[in-house]
Structure 1
Amino acid sequence: MGQITVAQAIARLLEQMGTEVAFGLNGHGNWALLDALVHETKIQSVAVRSEDHAVELADGYWRRKRGAPLPIVTTSVGPGNMNAVPPIATAYYESIGMLVLAGVGATHWFDRGGIEEFYRQGPEDWVAILKPISKKAFTAIRPDTVLETFLRAYQTAHSGRPGPVVMALPFDIQNTLIPDDLPDPTPYMVSHRPAPDPQGVSEAIELLKSAERPYVVVGSGIANSGAYDALFEFAEATGIPVAVTPTGKAAFPEDHRLSLGCIGRAGTGQGNHGARRADVVIGVGTHFTDIDTGAWTLFDIPNATKLIHIDIDPTELGRAYPTAVALTSDARLGLEALTAAAREAGITERTAWTAELDGVRSKWLADTSEMRTSDIAPLHYARVTTDTAAVVAEKCPDASIHFDTGNMLSFGPSFLPASSRHVVHSGFMHRMGWSAASVLGASLASGRGPAVALLGDGAYLMRATVVPTAVELNLPIVWVVMDNRSLQIERETMLKLYGRESMCDYRIEGEQELWGPDYVGMSTAMGAQAVRVSKAADFKPALEEAIDSRKPTVISVDTELETPQYRAIWYPYPADYNATWKPGPLDDADAGHK
């Protein structure tokens, strides 16, 4: 029996487990692990320019793959590890599986307050910060047990409701010699998901049998479960229309006759109408956020509507609305059980209901047509998103499209028809600029296929330093940057609430005209191709050329700031601590601002 270091042992295990890529940044805390990964395995090592990029590339990789082998992230000590904290929070609340191997200082120096140690509340206590924002976070404490700990961490990250697991590895433990007879990692790569309780399924079917206006709404749980086919089969078998949340985008074919599109504050007319009118709602893999429900004003649960709620995480069941039936279950297994039981019960389409929704759909499409085809200059967001979807559908229909937060949140859900299952949105933490980095991970996960990020200029500026990484990897990434020199979604709402904006518009001090960086020049300096588009007719050709080039390309789009934007629901934020708030439909007098 020979001996190898802990770092070498972890690297070898990761390679045995089929790991394809590790994202990271060099720092003195993770030298041993980096040395082993880069020089002693065939795992692709991607060096990024900031630790948050590493986590967001892993995020995009997971969203494309949705399963083991996990993406691996490695970061290092003090501010390096702290840079990873915000995107780890995104990964946790959006159920993104990954393993973060964070280098920390040597145990010999713990609690001495050495360079970059988190020591004032306890010896090297950085992982304490991560407890509310990760599935598990801990520091390895013994070299002779570290491999067992590592394998359990790996299993935790991908099993059940997936999420980021953070394992801090002290420098001395990484370099300590241990026997080279490695454990079999296979058992830690397999997990079996929970199926629903049969009694609960029977109760759900009883509700559906008497429903006149049944309605399904799904979130990102469909993607993590791989429940696309199960959802399609359930809809086809029962004739129940399907809506999606922004994080559930692309879970159901948008050209299907039973598709209602997205719901919520930027939802479709038919999606939101169905939510208001439904008498039984089946929620799958969603916890009904304020974005999804217009601040909980769409559904009248439990008064006029009964909720059947399916989620793999029991703590999400009934969080926003009380349930008539709560099923702790994997989305795919839950839908398969409901499909079988519904067929046996003879549940079929309520044609009057679907005809009603068809009429609303036709009206909504007609009402929004002008935005989709707008020729205004600067450009309208709806025209840009519509044209993006059309170009991708024609040239690379399986490409990943990631749309960001900000004003894109008003258009990505309902004005970006999905040609594949890979149109995704970071819809809980809404970290600005997430898409700029995540599309690199998605491209790598798809075999270096094309990927498109749609984001505002404020978001791009926060994460633009990921461009050199795309250039170095020679990835076919297109960033479509909506440039209006303002934080538009905040500006619009502040004007509505207060009659004036605050810190939304950017300008040089003493000047009235709005100002922003030259994103074409900036992106070119970082090695990307770049072009500015100021006319609607020029956008499609620019995007087609960018995709055909298979080179990292930035398209800076001059976008309109003053034209009223799309918002399906305006609703009030509670602004008076002493006022009573409750969920449910708004009276006209209560319609608000956000």
Structure 2
Amino acid sequence: MSHEPTIRLTVAQAVVKFLSSQYSVLDDDRQRFIPAAAGIFGHGNVAGFSQAFSQYADEIPFIQGRNEQSLAHAGSALAKASGRRQTLAVTASIGPGAMNLVTAAALATVNRLPLLLLPGDTYATKRQGPVLQELENPQDADLTVNDAFRPVSAFFARITRPEQLVTALPKAFRVLANPAETGAVVLSLPQDIQSHAFDFPVSLFREREWSIRRTIPQPGDVDRAASVLASAKKPVIIAGGGVHYSEAREALAEFAESTGIPVAETFGGKGAALSDADWALGGIGLEGNPATNRLVAQADVIVSIGTRLTDFATGSQTMFKNPDVAFVAINIAELDTIKQGAVAVLSDAKLGIEALSRRLSAYSVPGDWTTEIASQKADWAARRNRALDPDTVFDRQAPENAELAIPDTDAVVTQGQLIGLLQEHAQAGDTLIAAAGGPPGDLLKVWDATDDRRCHLEFGFSCMGYEIPAGIGVRLADPQSTGRVTVFIGDGTFLMNPTEILTAAQENLDITYVISENHGFQVIRRLQMMKYGQQFGNDFRYRGDGDPAGLSGDYLHVDLGEIASGLGAETIRATSAEEIRTALNDTRTTHGPVAIIVPTVPLVDLPGSEVFWDVAPAEVAEQEWVGPLRTEYERGLEDQRWHV
């Protein structure tokens, strides 16, 4: 019988003590894997986890939040901003508290971001009979609402005995630290088990390092990829989030500089280009810029690096129009290496780029491709600059605006011009955050993230409500940074989930929220007009008299500033370009949260991407205007192509 020393702890105490001694290591850089915990207590975790987190408060700080989903989003943002080396542990009570974490779990898993969730669960002993918030299933007595986590988690374990932690905790951290498998890790903890005591082996709580390993490319794979590229006349690289997570931006720049292969960026890859070099194309796909998309349409070889190639990046499989196009993929996830029938290089992005660069040291793109790249970039640069110029007075009566029926508001700047002001204000070390609605697409299209003007876009799950808590996570990733963290959101997203502004105030975190007030879910309104032909249920309007079918009265009277102020933010309403400049400059060093509300002209968009998206108008409809939209959609389907 083993005589290993033991320590008597409750299950909750054992979990918290274990968390405080886990470290991630990448290339000898060692960091606390769980630098803090967060949560909201209810009857399902207050007796167990509140006691444990209180007992170990000196070892693992605890953040009190307003919404469980938001706290988990903060954990995902911390993971993204730290290169997947850190995350939060988030606890919630049983029932609604636990279920509030499910959306956040899906976001983390879809984006392959480590996130540790500790939801309470209903009693394991079951002697109490049905308990508050318990789901009773007549066919499955072991089923609880927490089983909803299973399809959206990278790892799930229900702890029904204390000793199960001895194996479950290391398994959980193996997944958190594995970049190819990581996502939401859920330890479901019945509320009675949290308080049960057990003699745990002392060795379970020793400091432990979890290596974030770099997958080494196989030489044969690199040779096959290099042979495809060696004869390429019009190659393009598509850079995804894996370029950031593997710290491959310098390697990518050297490869692009030496070969002349242009680099396009996905949402996750935004900022992959270190400088505005000749080869840096900017955003790709449905919300990318048209110059990039025209070049991609001509490409004879596509090299995707660290990206899942979702429909936004491929234009629902219509982007790659060259009949002879071939694909190469570098990725740590094998699933992503085989997409588009690619020559697969299973590899860490940095190591894969370096290996391919060595094999192609004598290669450079033909001169006519370089000329075409320069021509397309110059054309787009002029259009971009016009759209972002904040000092151009927006003319509601201009011919190009005649068909928009622009509502009469107090707005004098467009959302594009607001982005231009944010770009003008941005400095090295700043981070701009967006996730859903118009802002992330606009930023992918026009934001210059070079020279360390970071752009943190969550678009794998496109989750409204991520942005405000994400500011907390990004700030926690680098608390000593003097760079300003700015959250850029529309009024629709702001109204959906503003409450973590209070958490930012409580923690005295320096975050600026720039709110584009355009009176609705405007990006979906735009899509609705393209696919249905009329606005319905997207403008923020009162219901008018005799208006049973829709909301067509005046705009809602909402004081966004009062909401933000009431939650602890210093609040400014800025209308003109000069007022916006002053507000940004005056609050750059303000401690605590700041909200700048900017009225923006509704219905005015940046130049289109010229890319198809497979969203189908109704095949049969009573409204006569839907038929032509369906016909146009079916024409778009003609360009769809599977690459196998």
TM-score, normalised by the number of residues in structure 2: 0.85
Against the structure 1 CA distance between its residues 432 and 46, is the aligned structure 2 distance closer, same or farther, given a 3 Å change threshold?
same
CA contact (8 A) 2:240 2:265 kept: yes
Q: In the alignment, is residue 260 of structure 1 matched against residue 278 of structure 2?
A: no
Q: In the alignment, is residue 55 of structure 1 matched against residue 72 of structure 2?
A: yes
SS in 2 for 1:411: helix
Aligned to 2:547: none
* Equivalent runs, 1:131-150 vs 2, <5 Å: 131-150=150-169
Flag structure 1 segments of 5+ consecutive residues without an equivalent. 579-584
Against the structure 1 CA distance between its residues 468 and 76, is the aligned structure 2 distance closer, same or farther, given a 3 Å change threshold?
same
Against the structure 1 CA distance between its residues 201 and 88, is the aligned structure 2 distance closer, same or farther, given a 3 Å change threshold?
same
Decide which structure has the larger Cα Rg and report it. 2
Deviation at 1:30, TM superposition (A): 2.0
Aligned to 2:567: 526
Against the structure 1 CA distance between its residues 422 and 169, is the aligned structure 2 distance closer, same or farther, given a 3 Å change threshold?
farther
* Equivalent runs, 1:320-469 vs 2, <5 Å: 321-323=340-342, 325-343=343-361, 346-373=362-389, 374-376=392-394, 377-393=411-427, 397-418=428-449, 419-420=451-452, 422-447=454-479, 449=481, 450-469=484-503
Percent of aligned pairs sharing the same letter? 26
CA contact (8 A) 2:574 2:597 kept: yes
Aligned to 1:581: none
In structure 2, what residue type is equivalent to 1:427? F
Aligned to 1:479: 513
Deviation at 1:87, TM superposition (A): 1.5
Deviation at 1:570, TM superposition (A): 4.8
Distance, in Å, in 2 between the alignment partners of 1:112 and 1:294 is 53
Flag structure 2 segments of 5+ consecutive residues without an equivalent. 1-5, 23-31, 395-410, 545-551, 621-632
Q: In the alignment, is residue 174 of structure 1 matched against residue 216 of structure 2?
A: no
Deviation at 1:128, TM superposition (A): 2.3
Deviation at 1:286, TM superposition (A): 1.1
SS in 2 for 1:409: helix
Against the structure 1 CA distance between its residues 438 and 465, is the aligned structure 2 distance closer, same or farther, given a 3 Å change threshold?
same
CA contact (8 A) 1:25 1:54 kept: no
Distance, in Å, in 2 between the alignment partners of 1:291 and 1:50 is 30
Against the structure 1 CA distance between its residues 118 and 317, is the aligned structure 2 distance closer, same or farther, given a 3 Å change threshold?
farther
**Counterpart pick for 2:124 among 104, 107, 127:** 107
In structure 2, what residue type is equivalent to 1:179? D
Distance, in Å, in 2 between the alignment partners of 1:160 and 1:525 is 40
CA contact (8 A) 1:410 1:567 kept: no
CA contact (8 A) 2:319 2:611 kept: no
Deviation at 1:573, TM superposition (A): 2.1
Aligned to 2:623: none
Deviation at 1:222, TM superposition (A): 1.6
In structure 1, what residue type is equivalent to 2:184? P
Q: CA deviation digits over 1:156-210, x for unaligned, max 9?
A: 1221322111111122322222235132666661242322221111011111110
Deviation at 1:435, TM superposition (A): 1.0
Distance, in Å, in 2 between the alignment partners of 1:83 and 1:448 is 31
Against the structure 1 CA distance between its residues 304 and 30, is the aligned structure 2 distance closer, same or farther, given a 3 Å change threshold?
same
Aligned to 1:225: 246
Distance, in Å, in 2 between the alignment partners of 1:588 and 1:333 is 38
Against the structure 1 CA distance between its residues 191 and 367, is the aligned structure 2 distance closer, same or farther, given a 3 Å change threshold?
closer
Against the structure 1 CA distance between its residues 264 and 110, is the aligned structure 2 distance closer, same or farther, given a 3 Å change threshold?
farther
Deviation at 1:242, TM superposition (A): 0.9
Aligned to 1:160: 179
Aligned to 2:530: 496
Q: In the alignment, is residue 16 of structure 1 matched against residue 21 of structure 2?
A: yes
SS in 1 for 2:319: coil
In structure 2, what residue type is equivalent to 1:436? I
TM-score, normalised by the number of residues in structure 1: 0.92
Distance, in Å, in 2 between the alignment partners of 1:183 and 1:113 is 35
Distance, in Å, in 1 between the alignment partners of 2:328 and 2:386 is 37
Q: In the alignment, is residue 7 of structure 1 matched against residue 39 of structure 2?
A: no
199-208 or 130-139: which moved more? Answer: 130-139
In structure 2, what residue type is equivalent to 1:294? G
Aligned to 1:541: 582
Q: CA deviation digits over 1:230-253, x for unaligned, max 9?
A: 222322332211111122111222
CA contact (8 A) 1:151 1:188 kept: no
Against the structure 1 CA distance between its residues 577 and 128, is the aligned structure 2 distance closer, same or farther, given a 3 Å change threshold?
farther
Q: CA deviation digits over 1:126-164, x for unaligned, max 9?
A: 342122211111201221231321121012122132211
Distance, in Å, in 1 between the alignment partners of 2:109 and 2:365 is 38
Aligned to 1:306: 326
Aligned to 1:517: 558
Deviation at 1:366, TM superposition (A): 1.0
Against the structure 1 CA distance between its residues 125 and 522, is the aligned structure 2 distance closer, same or farther, given a 3 Å change threshold?
same
CA contact (8 A) 2:487 2:514 kept: yes
Distance, in Å, in 1 between the alignment partners of 2:143 and 2:191 is 12
Q: CA deviation digits over 1:362-382, x for unaligned, max 9?
A: 111112322111433432111
**Counterpart pick for 2:336 among 288, 297, 316:** 316
In structure 1, what residue type is equivalent to 2:580? F
Aligned to 2:265: 244
Q: CA deviation digits over 1:406-439, x for unaligned, max 9?
A: 1213311122211427411111211112111111
**Counterpart pick for 2:224 among 178, 197, 203:** 203
Deviation at 1:589, TM superposition (A): 10
Distance, in Å, in 2 between the alignment partners of 1:562 and 1:69 is 40
Q: CA deviation digits over 1:304-355, x for unaligned, max 9?
A: 2100012211122334x222x0122222222122122222xx2234333122
Q: In the alignment, is residue 128 of structure 1 matched against residue 147 of structure 2?
A: yes
Deviation at 1:389, TM superposition (A): 2.3
Against the structure 1 CA distance between its residues 254 and 280, is the aligned structure 2 distance closer, same or farther, given a 3 Å change threshold?
same
CA contact (8 A) 2:99 2:146 kept: no
Distance, in Å, in 2 between the alignment partners of 1:114 and 1:444 is 37
Deviation at 1:558, TM superposition (A): 0.3
In structure 2, what residue type is equivalent to 1:357? I
**Counterpart pick for 2:110 among 93, 111, 120:** 93
Deviation at 1:540, TM superposition (A): 1.8
CA contact (8 A) 1:289 1:296 kept: no
SS in 2 for 1:547: coil
In structure 2, what residue type is equivalent to 1:352? D
Aligned to 1:83: 100
CA contact (8 A) 2:233 2:365 kept: no
SS in 2 for 1:501: coil
Deviation at 1:547, TM superposition (A): 1.8
Against the structure 1 CA distance between its residues 38 and 423, is the aligned structure 2 distance closer, same or farther, given a 3 Å change threshold?
farther
Distance, in Å, in 1 between the alignment partners of 2:128 and 2:247 is 46
Against the structure 1 CA distance between its residues 3 and 591, is the aligned structure 2 distance closer, same or farther, given a 3 Å change threshold?
closer
CA contact (8 A) 1:386 1:417 kept: no
SS in 1 for 2:364: coil
Distance, in Å, in 2 between the alignment partners of 1:479 and 1:385 is 13
Matched residue count: 579
CA RMSD of the aligned region, Å? Answer: 2.5
CA contact (8 A) 2:76 2:87 kept: no
CA contact (8 A) 2:516 2:598 kept: yes
**Counterpart pick for 1:277 among 292, 298, 309:** 298
Aligned to 2:608: 567
